[in-house]
């Protein structure tokens, strides 16, 4: 490893140590003693795994038990795309051959005998998943072969955290940022390269720290690096200020996707946020353009879109539908440059609901929601009381406040990961309000 790379690794480690080895979750909150929590969780997760391997529970029960536990104890990021979502898609794709799936899972999630056996397991599951993916009529609903490395290394780390590192996207992204990562054609080759690179990083840090370094310590230090708290320290020192934990955490909260989202956005919708912030257009012209762009994003997500908006009378801006699951949403797009609050719109929203819900129900749409899209929402306005009333006294089952950036991030992840509309809706309705890009990144990023 070149000397400049070694120095960069030392710098990453020293910044982590100097910050008292603080670990934040994707929301920017400090996780105290994450390793202690993990060690406790490992014992319980091992019981779930053993129950499956010993035929005490079937594949469906295994999937559900793991999902339930990790949602309550999300210390590995397994609830994201390459973990639980991959598992859900894998199970759904094998409903007619569940015994075959169970056999390959039992073969591959068990701890490898050695490194060669690990690569053999990855190759076997990747081949199994690739066969499903290549034959799928709709690949958006199929499990992705690119998730295999993360998925299996998670289970292996539960078996032996000292031996098996998890191949996180955030970790390979950090390695790439300092110039030591290379992408490969297969998950087997990716993990082989990653494992050896991770061992080399541990060896380099051992010479610097004068002690053995664990897989978790490498993971934490590079996670600390990818969240960029170091930039806050540097900025504060340049200004002669004393950096505080508060402003460090505030910087960490502004997490970014591990890819450039604009590369996955059609140009026709990429400037939605900028349009919402525009001050040189008339309110009418700006509003009309913003409404049309919002409708276009939902169309790109896979919804059937019925545009309404300006020129159609007293109507919402669009109705979006997913016939396959009898689901529809009433859309109201607000091109506000400052935080939106209801005001007189309260009455209009009630009218939209009273006018359109009966029509939608007559046409077979049983699940109806309402989405307001805006650049930002006024934090001082009590949206909760209004939303609680609407969902109690009307046919609206879910009322969502969605920022422009959250909507664009949702589309970027859809394009990048070939997400199907069912999973997009399932995740969208699971959030609290207000839904921001941070929520979308946390849900779909394997950190």
Residue 188 in tokens: 């087997």
Residues 103 and 195 placed together within one structural domain of the fold: yes
Tokens 């896979």 sit on residue: 302
Of 338 and 192, the one with more pLDDT? 192
Residues 183 and 294 placed together within one structural domain of the fold: no
Give the total number of structural domains in the chain: 2
Residues 211 and 299 placed together within one structural domain of the fold: no
Tokens 């026709």 sit on residue: 268
Q: What is the DSSP letter of 322?
A: E
Residues 235 and 269 placed together within one structural domain of the fold: no
- CB of 12 within 8 A of CB of 171? no
Residues 185 and 274 placed together within one structural domain of the fold: no
pLDDT over 60 at 307, yes or no: yes
Smallest CA-to-CA distance from 223 within 255, 184, 196, 248 is with 255
pLDDT at residue 26 in the model:
65
pLDDT over 80 at 237, yes or no: no
Residue 137 in tokens: 């009529």
- CB of 361 within 8 A of CB of 353? no
3-state percent breakdown (helix, strand, coil) of the chain, nearest 5:
60, 10, 30
pLDDT at residue 80 in the model:
82
Among 230, 253, 276, give the residue marking a domain's end.
253
Among 229, 253, 277, give the residue marking a domain's end.
253
Q: How far is CA 166 from the centre of its chain?
A: 17
pLDDT over 90 at 254, yes or no: no
pLDDT over 90 at 378, yes or no: no
pLDDT at residue 231 in the model:
41
pLDDT at residue 242 in the model:
47
pLDDT at residue 243 in the model:
43
Domain holding 87, by residue range, is: 3-253
Three-class secondary structure assignment of 21-52: CCCECCCCCECCCHHHHHHHHHHHHHHHHHHH
User: How buried is residue 256: exposed, middle or buried, by Cβ count under 10 Å (0-12/13-18/19+)?
Assistant: middle
Residues 151 and 297 placed together within one structural domain of the fold: no
Residue 229 pLDDT class (50, 70, 90 cuts): very low
Among 219, 235, 253, give the residue marking a domain's end.
253
User: What are the φ and ψ backbone dihedral angles of 245, each rounded to 5 degrees?
Assistant: -60, -35
Residues 234 and 121 placed together within one structural domain of the fold: yes
Q: Per residue in 65-106, pLDDT tens?
A: 999 999 899 899 898 889 998 999 999 999 999 999 999 999
User: Residue 24's beta-bridge partner residues?
Assistant: 30
Which CATH number is 270's domain given? 3.40.91.30
Q: What's the predicted TM-score (pTM) here? A: 0.63
Average confidence (pLDDT) over 34-60: 96
Distance CA 269, CA 271 (A): 6
Average pLDDT over the chain, rounded to whole?
Answer: 88
Average confidence (pLDDT) over 390-414: 94
Q: Per residue in 312-365, pLDDT tens?
A: 557 899 999 999 999 999 999 998 877 888 877 888 999 999 999 999 999 999
Q: Are strands 367-374 and 396-403 parallel, antiparallel or unpaired?
A: parallel
* pLDDT above 70: percentage of residues in the chain: 90
User: Could you give the angle at which helices 86-93 and 59-72 cross, rounded to 10 degrees?
Assistant: 170
Of 427 and 87, the one with more pLDDT? 87
pLDDT over 70 at 374, yes or no: yes
Tokens 């969780």 sit on residue: 41
Residues 119 and 27 placed together within one structural domain of the fold: yes
Q: Per residue in 273-302, pLDDT tens?
A: 999 888 777 778 888 899 999 999 999 999
User: What are the φ and ψ backbone dihedral angles of 307, each rounded to 5 degrees?
Assistant: -70, 140
Residues 86 and 129 placed together within one structural domain of the fold: yes
Of 293 and 249, the one with more pLDDT? 293
pLDDT at residue 233 in the model:
42
* pLDDT above 90: percentage of residues in the chain: 66
Average confidence (pLDDT) over 361-388: 92
Strand, coil or helix: what is 120? helix
The DSSP H or E segment spanning 20 is none
User: Residue 369's beta-bridge partner residues?
Assistant: 329, 398
Residues 64 and 200 placed together within one structural domain of the fold: yes
- CB of 346 within 8 A of CB of 340? no
Q: Per residue in 149-174, pLDDT tens?
A: 999 999 999 999 999 999 998 899 89
In b/e form, how buried is each residue of 154-187, taking b as 16+ CB within 10 angstroms? Answer: bbbbbbebeebbbbbbbbbebbeebebbeeeebb
pLDDT at residue 88 in the model:
92
Residues 138 and 281 placed together within one structural domain of the fold: no
Residues 227 and 267 placed together within one structural domain of the fold: no
pLDDT over 50 at 234, yes or no: no
Distance CA 153, CA 188 (A): 11
């Amino acid at each position: 490893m070149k000397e400049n790379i070694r120095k960069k690794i030392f710098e990453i480690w020293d910044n982590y140590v100097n910050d008292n080895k603080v670990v934040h979750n994707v929301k920017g909150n400090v996780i105290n003693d994450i390793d202690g929590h993990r060690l406790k969780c490992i014992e319980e997760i091992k019981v779930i795994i053993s129950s499956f391997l010993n035929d005490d529970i079937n594949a469906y029960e295994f999937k559900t038990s793991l999902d339930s536990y990790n949602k309550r104890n999300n210390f590995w990021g397994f609830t994201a795309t390459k973990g639980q979502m991959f598992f859900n898609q894998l199970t759904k794709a094998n409903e007619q051959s569940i015994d075959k799936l169970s056999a390959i899972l039992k073969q591959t999630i068990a701890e490898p005998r050695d490194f060669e056996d690990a690569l053999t397991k990855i190759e076997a599951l990747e081949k199994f998943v690739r066969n499903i993916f290549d034959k799928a009529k709709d690949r958006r609903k199929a499990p992705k072969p690119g998730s295999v490395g993360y998925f299996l290394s998670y289970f292996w780390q539960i078996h032996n955290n000292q031996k098996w590192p998890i191949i996180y996207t955030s970790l390979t992204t950090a390695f790439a940022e300092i110039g030591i990562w290379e992408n490969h054609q297969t998950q087997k080759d990716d993990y082989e390269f990653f494992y050896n690179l991770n061992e080399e990083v541990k060896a380099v840090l051992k010479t610097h720290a004068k002690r053995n370094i664990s897989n978790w310590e490498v993971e934490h230090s590079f996670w600390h690096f990818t969240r960029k708290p170091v930039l806050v320290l540097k900025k504060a020192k340049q200004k002669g200020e004393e950096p505080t934990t508060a402003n460090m955490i505030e910087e960490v909260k502004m997490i970014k996707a591990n890819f450039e989202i604009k590369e996955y956005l059609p140009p026709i919708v990429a400037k939605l946020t900028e349009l919402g912030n525009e001050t040189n257009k008339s309110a009418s012209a700006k509003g009309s353009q913003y409404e049309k762009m919002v409708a276009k994003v939902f169309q790109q997500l896979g919804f059937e879109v019925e545009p309404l908006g300006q020129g159609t009378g007293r109507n919402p801006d669009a109705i979006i539908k997913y016939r396959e699951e009898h689901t529809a949403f009433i859309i109201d797009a607000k091109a506000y440059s400052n935080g939106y609050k209801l005001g007189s719109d309260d009455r209009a929203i009630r009218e939209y609901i009273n006018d359109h819900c009966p029509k939608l129900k007559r046409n077979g749409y049983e699940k109806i929601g309402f989405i307001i899209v805006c650049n930002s929402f006024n934090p001082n306005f009590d949206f909760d009381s209004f939303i609680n009333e609407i969902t109690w006294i009307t046919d609206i089952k879910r009322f969502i406040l969605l920022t422009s950036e959250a909507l664009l991030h949702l589309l970027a992840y859809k394009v990048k990961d070939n997400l199907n509309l069912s999973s997009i809706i399932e995740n969208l309705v699971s959030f609290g309000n207000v839904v921001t890009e941070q929520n979308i990144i946390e849900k779909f990023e394997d950190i």
